[in-house]
Structure 1
Amino acid sequence: MKAPKIVKKAQAGFTLIELMIVVAIIGILAAVAIPAYQDYVAKSKFAAALGEVSAGKTAFEVKLNEGATPSTPADVGLSTTATANCSSFTVTGTTLTCAIVGGPSTVSGQNIVLTRDVNGGWSCAAATIKQKLIGTTGVCVGQS
């Protein structure tokens, strides 16, 4: 009996269809991941800006306890120039406001307004920012 002849074939690499499938899978993953990443960046920018403006609440209360009415960002310990998260701070009456700078367009240029009520409680509003980018309504109330 004759032994079968073994033919060695050189490896050819991936076929075109295999490469097209991989590119399609990467495209689908990117289409899902990019919007989710943008939301994540917007949430973190909002949280950072809220942290910066919230720092003024304590000094605001101290000024009120001293009988003074704060009227400038410096009165409540906030920066008078732009920071990494707020382009400007405003203090008027019983409100502290931060204009968010940078980040995705969903939060950039939007305002966070902290308002003190007559009982000394604070509320937060960001009327032009979608609630999903803020978190629960217990943190701040945004656009539904």
Structure 2
Amino acid sequence: MGLPAATARCAHVTLGGSTGDARGQSITCELRGSPKVSGKTITLTRTASGRWSCSVPGLEARYLPPECTN
């Protein structure tokens, strides 16, 4: 997919799912930055309809991107 293994805000970037099937594909990023977000994992998951959902378990709601849930 051409994504780097790490970025300034992601300690680790991981891809999941099959490239031949849009359902269940995912991009995971272990966040780095302030102590409020560092070490948390944000996951983007592709739905059967082709849309992306976002979740960040354990992160305070005020730090979530608007499209994400915890």
- For the criterion TM > 0.5, the same-fold answer is yes
Q: Among residues 85, 89, 97, which one is paired with 2:13 in the alignment? A: 89
Structure 1 gaps of 5+ residues are 1-75
Does residue 106 of structure 1 match 2:36? yes
Higher RCO (CA < 8 A, seq sep 6+)? 2
Would the alpha carbon gap of residues 121 and 134 (structure 1) be closer, same or farther in structure 2, given more than 3 Å must change? same
Asked whether 1:129 is paired with 2:59, we answer yes
CA-based RMSD of the aligned residues comes to: 1.3
Corresponding pairs, count: 63
CA distance in 2, matches of 1:79, 1:92: 14
2:3 to 48, 62, 78: 78
Structure 1 moving runs of 4+ over 6 Å: none
- Unaligned runs of 5+ residues in structure 2 are 18-24
Q: How many percent identity over aligned positions?
A: 37
Q: CA deviation at 1:135?
A: 4.5
TM-score, length-normalised on structure 1? 0.41
Q: What amino acid is aligned across from residue 77 of structure 1 in structure 2?
A: G
After the TM superposition, which of the residue ranges 104-113 and 127-136 deviates more from structure 2? Answer: 127-136
Q: Given the superposition, is the C-alpha separation of residues 104 and 113 from structure 1 closer, same or farther in structure 2, using an over 3 Å criterion?
A: same
One-letter amino acid of the structure 2 residue matched with residue 99 of structure 1: E
